Amino acid sequence: MDNIKSKKQYAETYGGLFGGLLPLITMLAAMIVLAAFGMRSTKNFWSAGFLAIFVGFLVYKDKSRFQTAVIDGIKNNIFAFMIACFIFAGILSKILAASHLVNSLLWLLSKVHMSPGLMPLVCFFIAVILSTATGSAASSMNATAPIMIPLCVAMGCNVNVVCGAILSGACFGDNLAPISDTTIASSLTQEANVIYVVKSRLKYSLIAGAVSAVAFAIVGLNTTNAAAAKGIAVDATYASSLVFLIIPVIIIVLMLNKANLLTAFLVSEVIGIIMLFAFGFMDFKTLFAANGLIATGIDGMLSSIIFILFIFVAVSLITEAGVLEALLDRMKKYARSEKSAEIASGAMVSIISIAISSGTTAITCCGPIIRSLLRPFHIDRNRAANFLDGLGCGVGYLVPTNPGCLNLAAIAIAAGVVGQGYNPIEFVVYNFHSMALAVVFWFAIISGWGRKKETPEMLAAQGIVEAAAE
């Protein structure tokens, strides 16, 4: 049977593995150069993606394999799902903008005398609650950002700090929630029980969360323009628009009841459109015109969608050339002790998260390899799942080309508070939770904090009976 299974034959490239990696290197280098010259918009980065594809064409010896790699990147199921999510998120932003919900919230906050400087901290906590409850960073950002970004900016908050707070809160739940895709992937690839993984992960997540909360309180108070907030004319004209808060609530309720994200989006948006007609905020032309709600909502997301397409193609090009597989094989050679095995594992997931701009994909890709690296040392598999997820989310959400970061930037553009050139580079520096996660887990790996060996009794207590025979 083993003879039947042959190792995949990767595409040959001029320059070997370096040639296979060259498309991604070209794309990243081009983006750095463009950013240095002040060209930081997502549209500017399209050219970097195109250049990466051209370089891929040059280095691939077999042009049919090159074409296959490009098409595989375009038809990637994750990319297809992201297109749908981005489109619905853009429409949701326009619905909430048309509802004057921001005006009603400004009026409400003026009554309770909420300090504008604390709004980034409020954004962080709201995103933490939503992402932990739903297990979805995307649903947390898409439910929170369309409301909170324009609201906070109107109150004088720095838009970059606000976006960083929402991204941080979304990362918190993505890392910790039992129903999060990263939690499930990190647990299953380490052959661990999800519940025990979450219990053991709690101390790391809470430390990172507490650091983040303090940071947003300090930065929020020091970057908010209080004078701008006082200059806002707040009246009760749109007080009744508070009822539109039902839209994000519907999304959350549907997600908690196991509805998929697209279903939650579609149902809430149909209800939102009906409410806009009922309140007189919209007519037939405003909804369906070329510059109407639906068209502008989708148009605001196209820039990010096209850029993500180039990312998936670039990743597909290096994958088809065997670069990722070679990298993972070489990392195995450094696993000589418990500490070196963990360092190699941490470096692996960190590097892959940066290379492919996705913590979730990195976790899925690296998980089985990390399990094989750590198995001989009998290191607690819950710990392995924790730093696999912690570094995947920590490093992954700090990469400006991460889909979640691009989604958030696109929502800010759609909300009308920033220009078309707005880019995640501006706000990832305020993603304090991802930074804290990366620091906490690297400290745990290097210092050995929390490292322990698993025993048959420990595994049996967690319901992992078969693994006890290892």
C-alpha neighbours within 13 Å on the C-beta side of residue 427: 28
* Interatomic CA distance for residues 27 and 224, integer angstroms: 35
| DSSP label of 13 | B
User: Tell me, what amino acid is at 300?
Assistant: G
Distance of CA 286 to the CA centre of its chain: 32
Quick one: pLDDT at residue 6? 46
Quick one: pLDDT at residue 465? 63
The DSSP code sequence of 231-299 is T----STTGGGGGGGHHHHHHHHHHHTT--HHHHHHHHHHHHHHHHHHHTS--HHHHHSTTSHHHHHHH
Quick one: pLDDT at residue 3? 43
The SS3 call for residue 431 is: coil
Nearest to 269 by CA among 85, 86, 81, 96: 96
C-alpha neighbours within 13 Å on the C-beta side of residue 23: 31
Both structure tokens of 433: 């939770």
Domains of the chain, by residue range, sit at: 37-469
Query: Do residues 70 and 317 touch, judged by C-beta distance below 8 A?
Result: yes
Name residues of the chain where pLDDT drops below 70: 1-7, 40, 110, 134, 227-235, 328, 332, 465-470
Quick one: pLDDT at residue 469? 39
Quick one: pLDDT at residue 71? 96
Quick one: pLDDT at residue 34? 84
Q: What are phi and psi of 333, to 5 degrees?
A: -70, -20
Which residues neighbour 233 within 8 Å (Cβ) at sequence distance 6 or greater? none
C-alpha neighbours within 13 Å on the C-beta side of residue 252: 17
- pLDDT per position as a tens digit, 412-442: 988 888 888 788 989 999 999 999 999 999 9
Q: Report angle CA 253, 255, 258 to the nearest 5 degrees.
A: 115
Question: Rounded to 10 degrees, what is the CA torsion of 458, 460, 465, 466?
Answer: 20
Quick one: pLDDT at residue 234? 59
